[in-house]
Structure 1
Amino acid sequence: MKKEVVMKKLFESSNLNYEEISNMVADGDLIIYPTDTVYGLGASIEMKESLDRIYEVKERDQKSPLIALLSDKKYVEKVAVINELNRKEIEKLIENFWPGGLTIILDKKRIIPSNMVSNGTSVGVRIPNHKISIKIIESCGGILATTSANISGEPSPRSYEELSEEIKSRVEIVVDDNETPKGVESTIIDMRGTPKILREGHITQIEIEKIIGKMK
């Protein structure tokens, strides 16, 4: 990858222009922004070239899918299919852990590009518990394809200060926020069939089982 400075705009959290951010993302620009877990690297789901660029920026192959961060639960069924057998359990998880550090894996709808999910049939969805990130996502249509804002092999950045200068130089938009995220990545649970935790992070299996019962 050609390493050159491309950043167009650094936004301070105290003075965010959401309309400008929305227009830039709609034009295909990449954004680094805070979430409730770690700093995220995002792009519009409608811009396939921008999704490809996320992998280039991270120096990562496309075997690791991006997730869809949402601003509201009303967008879940715009991007994903809820299995009716699990609907009650999924609704309980959403009610108890969103906004928050739980990513739910569901079957994807056609609106999700194949290069966002490694040509797979599923997508991870989550609402972050962070007012600024929710406003950013809402301004961008309620959905942002997102991954952690680090070059592969680097630690996931827990604050603006932990973002590498290299990755900041490779995107067009960076949001500087003085509210430090929790620094723990989200828990990932597959709810397409029998519930299965794929990664335990901010929310524990015990907490989840209190809501939907014991998992096999």
Structure 2
Amino acid sequence: MNIFKNKIIYWSEDDSIRKLYDSICKDEISISSTDTILGFLGNTTQNSFDKIVKLKGRKEDKPFLILIDSYEKIFNFVDKETIDNPKILNIIKNFWPGPLTIIFNAKKNTPDFLCSKEKTIALRCPKHDGLQKILIFFDGLFSTSANKSNEQVAANLEDINIDIINNTKYIVIDKNNIDTNYKLDQTLPSTILDITNRNYIKVVREGAISVKELKKIYGEDFVK
């Protein structure tokens, strides 16, 4: 427990946001609570990418999700003409901020560490006050589940691999979601949609938002 206490800071405290901002600018990686599951948080730089890859223990050819604080920041990574479909815009309007990850076609000049080999990029605007406070300072921040690639997603802090705890800067959490044993509310991961094909939308993963909910807004069937 002591190792948690030495690293824990709280989203609700202004000093915590300053500490987190400074550490992100130094390419240090932290663990944070979100509106879904516990995740890593890091700057969208090659150095931070490499550090998260090492923490996850996985290959470097798989990109990480990028969190943004607003719809407008999509266009830091995506050309406007790639999302001119009114139905897709309606999905974004209805479910952002929230637990919906969308895979877009990335801009042609996007660095390789930000996108897949196919030049696609995953973005999400979280419904989380703390994350919104830090995201306004950045074009976007890397996020991915705070676990080793061959291990289960952590439901609470005690489930996180000790090697990960030792090699991250802070654990940023919500005071109102924590009890004396540092256990957090367990939630589903985000739902993932792939909109890179203009002819259809593919459901990559059904998570916190059901396909049924999405279909009500989209008005058509999705490809699975």
> Which category describes the TM-score, using the shorter chain as reference length?
0.7 to 0.9
What are the superposed Cα offsets for residues 69-92 of structure 1, whole Å, 9 maximum, x if unpaired?
Answer: 111111011112344565312211
Corresponding residue of 1:131: 129
Q: 2:149 aligns with which of 117, 129, 152?
A: 152
CA distance in 1, matches of 2:185, 2:215: 25
CA distance in 2, matches of 1:41, 1:19: 18
Cα RMSD for the two superposed structures: 2.3
Q: Relative to 1, partners in 2 of residues 1:26 and 1:76: Cα closer, same or farther, differing over 3 Å?
A: same
1:67-78 paired onto structure 2 within 5 Å = 67-78=65-76
What are the superposed Cα offsets for residues 18-59 of structure 1, whole Å, 9 maximum, x if unpaired?
Answer: 2232122111111211111101112111x2021011110111
Corresponding residue of 2:38: 39
Corresponding residue of 2:181: none
Corresponding residue of 1:28: 27
CA distance in 2, matches of 1:181, 1:71: 23
Alignment partner of 1:190 is 2:194: yes
| Percent identity over paired residues | 27
Equivalent residue pairs, number: 208
**In the alignment, residue 125 of structure 1 is paired with which amino acid?**
L
1:1-216 paired onto structure 2 within 5 Å = 9-17=7-15, 18-45=17-44, 47-84=45-82, 86-109=84-107, 112-139=110-137, 141-178=138-175, 179=177, 180=184, 183-193=187-197, 194-215=200-221, 216=223
**In the alignment, residue 190 of structure 2 is paired with which amino acid?**
S
Q: Relative to 1, partners in 2 of residues 1:84 and 1:49: Cα closer, same or farther, differing over 3 Å?
A: closer
What are the superposed Cα offsets for residues 150-192 of structure 1, whole Å, 9 maximum, x if unpaired?
Answer: 1112222233343333211111232133424552111111112
Contact kept? 1:11, 1:173, Cα under 8 Å:
yes
CA distance in 2, matches of 1:113, 1:92: 29
**In the alignment, residue 80 of structure 1 is paired with which amino acid?**
V
SS in 1 for 2:85: helix
Contact kept? 2:99, 2:189, Cα under 8 Å:
yes
SS in 1 for 2:73: helix
CA distance in 2, matches of 1:200, 1:145: 21
CA distance in 1, matches of 2:66, 2:57: 20
TM-score after normalising by structure 2: 0.83
Contact kept? 1:72, 1:142, Cα under 8 Å:
no
TM-score after normalising by structure 1: 0.85
CA distance in 2, matches of 1:167, 1:35: 18
Greater shift, 130-139 or 65-74, is seen at 130-139
CA distance in 2, matches of 1:188, 1:13: 26
Greater shift, 53-62 or 110-119, is seen at 110-119
CA shift at 1:62, angstroms?
2.1
CA distance in 2, matches of 1:137, 1:151: 25
Consecutive unaligned residues in structure 2, runs of 5 or more: 178-183
Q: Relative to 1, partners in 2 of residues 1:118 and 1:169: Cα closer, same or farther, differing over 3 Å?
A: farther
**In the alignment, residue 70 of structure 1 is paired with which amino acid?**
I
Contact kept? 2:34, 2:126, Cα under 8 Å:
yes
CA distance in 2, matches of 1:182, 1:111: 38
